[in-house]
């Protein structure tokens, strides 16, 4: 019995070690990925009620030996470390430089939204760093937007409130991401200094349910009263699109329209639109 007990302890220790070692290994890989420029933006357009492109969201991908690794496999590890700040700083740089490049090539620019982690929002000189990149690349501030999760407001509301107001003064707008999944109530919405609200995909999935439909209708109604535009994310079917349009939602994002695509494809899409 004794030796079996030891085996068991040995088993747990081994498992624990492999998990810990894996994390350490991943962290080292992420550092080198940053230095080798392996994080790239993919772009997913969002459309208006007529299906016309209004803008896009930049979503991070890790291109590792020609394999495309989705954020679900590394973003939470990054977000647990200060590394996310450097990764997002470089990511903002890539997007800003893409916007400037399209402008130089005469392609009509669209506002691009970038996801910001809580660590970046609380990082030193975020405002100054962003404004500097915009100036260096000579782009118009209204082509840059940020998305932040509802949870960020719970942690440092006052700090965030001030930061957003500074950005908004410069013409950069903000969206609350994954709205409805956090802990906030609808009345909280009035306090958020944001221009857009993204209705989380889980609500869109459940639109066939009457209660969910009523919640979504209320969100859209209240947002309108507060002068906040609503974006539905994860729209996959024509039925969902129709229901949301009927409810007064103004922007739509999802596989029904476009999947996230590499920069070159996004550029071709914008050029097609310019010429056609
Ligand atoms: P998110 O910000 O909520 O982004 C929406 C996610 O839904 C994206 O997943 C997008 O590809 C996916 N999506 C869009 N339309 C559909 C659809 O019709 N059906 C389905 N099933 N999915 C759809 P993705 O690109 O894998 O990103 C996942 C999450 O990773 C993002 O969720 C965001 O939280 C995070 N993320 C991505 N880029 C960054 C970044 O630069 N910084 C930070 N902090 N987080 C990021
Ligand atoms: Ca987002
Ligand atoms: Ca979202
Ligand atoms: Ca999400």
Determine which of 186-200, 222-236, 244-258 has the lowest per-residue pLDDT on average. Answer: 186-200
pLDDT confidence of residue 164 = 96
**Residue 265 neighbours by CB under 8 Å, 6+ apart:** none
pLDDT confidence of residue 10 = 66
Share of the chain above pLDDT 90, in %: 80
- Surrounding ion ligand 2 within 5 Å at CB are 115, 147, 177
> Using a 6 Å cutoff on CB, does residue 71 contact ligand 1?
yes
The residue with greater pLDDT, 110 or 18, is 110
The residue with greater pLDDT, 25 or 126, is 126
CA distance 259 to 265: 11
Q: Which atom of ligand 1 is nearest to the CA of 256?
A: 18
Which two structure tokens, joined as six digits, stand for 204? 């869109």
> Using a 6 Å cutoff on CB, does residue 240 contact ligand 1?
no
**Ligand 1 pocket test: which of 72, 88, 115 has the largest number of ligand atoms within 8 Å of its C-beta?**
115
Residue 115 alpha carbon to ligand 2 centre in Å: 5
CA distance 25 to 224: 47
Q: What is the mean pLDDT of residues 66-81?
A: 95
pLDDT confidence of residue 274 = 75
Whether the complex's predicted ipTM surpasses the cut of 0.95: yes
> Using a 6 Å cutoff on CB, does residue 177 contact ligand 1?
yes
CA distance 82 to 89: 12
pLDDT confidence of residue 6 = 59
Mean pLDDT, the chain, integer: 92
CA distance 113 to 146: 5
| Nearest by Cα to 199 from 175, 163, 164, 172 | 175
Residue nearest to atom 33 of ligand 1 (CA): 115
pLDDT confidence of residue 16 = 66
Q: Report residue 199: phi and psi, to 5°.
A: -75, 125
Strand, coil or helix: what is 41? strand
pLDDT (tens digit per residue) in 117-150: 999 999 999 999 999 999 999 999 999 999 999 8
> Using a 6 Å cutoff on CB, does residue 236 contact ligand 1?
yes
| Nearest by Cα to 54 from 250, 238, 264, 260 | 250
Q: What is the DSSP letter of 86?
A: H
Q: What is the mean pLDDT of residues 187-192?
A: 82
> Using a 6 Å cutoff on CB, does residue 75 contact ligand 1?
yes
CA distance 219 to 232: 11
> Using a 6 Å cutoff on CB, does residue 115 contact ligand 1?
yes
**Residue 195 neighbours by CB under 8 Å, 6+ apart:** 168, 173, 174, 175, 228, 229
pTM of the model: 0.93
Chain centroid to Cα 212, Å, comes to 23
pLDDT confidence of residue 154 = 83
pLDDT confidence of residue 7 = 66
Residue 178 alpha carbon to ligand 3 centre in Å: 4
Q: Report residue 98: phi and psi, to 5°.
A: -65, -45
pLDDT at 3 over 80: no
**Residue 122 neighbours by CB under 8 Å, 6+ apart:** 156, 159
pLDDT confidence of residue 240 = 98
Q: What is the mean pLDDT of residues 28-47?
A: 97
CA distance 196 to 221: 13
Q: What is the mean pLDDT of residues 210-238?
A: 96
Determine which of 1-5, 8-12, 255-259 has the lowest per-residue pLDDT on average. Answer: 1-5
> Using a 6 Å cutoff on CB, does residue 88 contact ligand 1?
yes
> Using a 6 Å cutoff on CB, does residue 234 contact ligand 1?
yes
Torsion, Cα of 174, 179, 184, 185 (10° steps): 110
């Amino acid at each position: 019995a004794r030796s079996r007990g030891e085996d068991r302890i040995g088993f747990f220790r081994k498992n624990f070690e492999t998990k810990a070692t894996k994390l350490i290994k991943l962290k080292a890989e992420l550092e080198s990925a940053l230095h080798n420029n392996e994080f790239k933006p993919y772009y997913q357009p969002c459309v208006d009620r007529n299906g016309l492109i209004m803008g896009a969201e930049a979503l991070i991908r890790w291109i590792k030996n020609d394999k495309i690794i989705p954020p679900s496999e590394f973003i939470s590890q990054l977000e647990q470390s200060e590394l996310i700040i450097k990764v997002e700083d470089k990511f903002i740089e890539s997007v800003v430089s893409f916007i400037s490049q399209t402008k130089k090539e005469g392609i009509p620019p669209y506002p691009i939204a970038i996801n910001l982690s809580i660590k970046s929002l609380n990082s030193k000189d975020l405002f100054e760093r962003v404004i500097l990149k915009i100036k260096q690349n000579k782009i118009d501030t209204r082509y840059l937007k940020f998305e932040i999760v509802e949870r960020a407001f719970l942690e440092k509301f006052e700090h965030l409130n001030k930061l957003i107001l500074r950005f908004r003064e410069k013409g950069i707008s903000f969206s609350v991401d994954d709205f409805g999944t956090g802990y906030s109530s609808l009345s909280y919405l009035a306090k958020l200094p944001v221009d857009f609200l993204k209705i989380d995909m889980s609500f869109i999935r459940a639109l066939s349910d009457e209660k969910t439909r009523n919640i979504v209708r209320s969100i859209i109604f209240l947002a309108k009263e507060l002068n906040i535009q609503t974006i539905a994310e994860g729209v996959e079917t024509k039925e969902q699109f129709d229901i949301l349009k009927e409810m007064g939602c103004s922007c739509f994002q999802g596989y029904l329209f476009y999947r996230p695509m590499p920069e070159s494809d996004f550029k071709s899409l914008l050029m097609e639109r310019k010429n056609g």
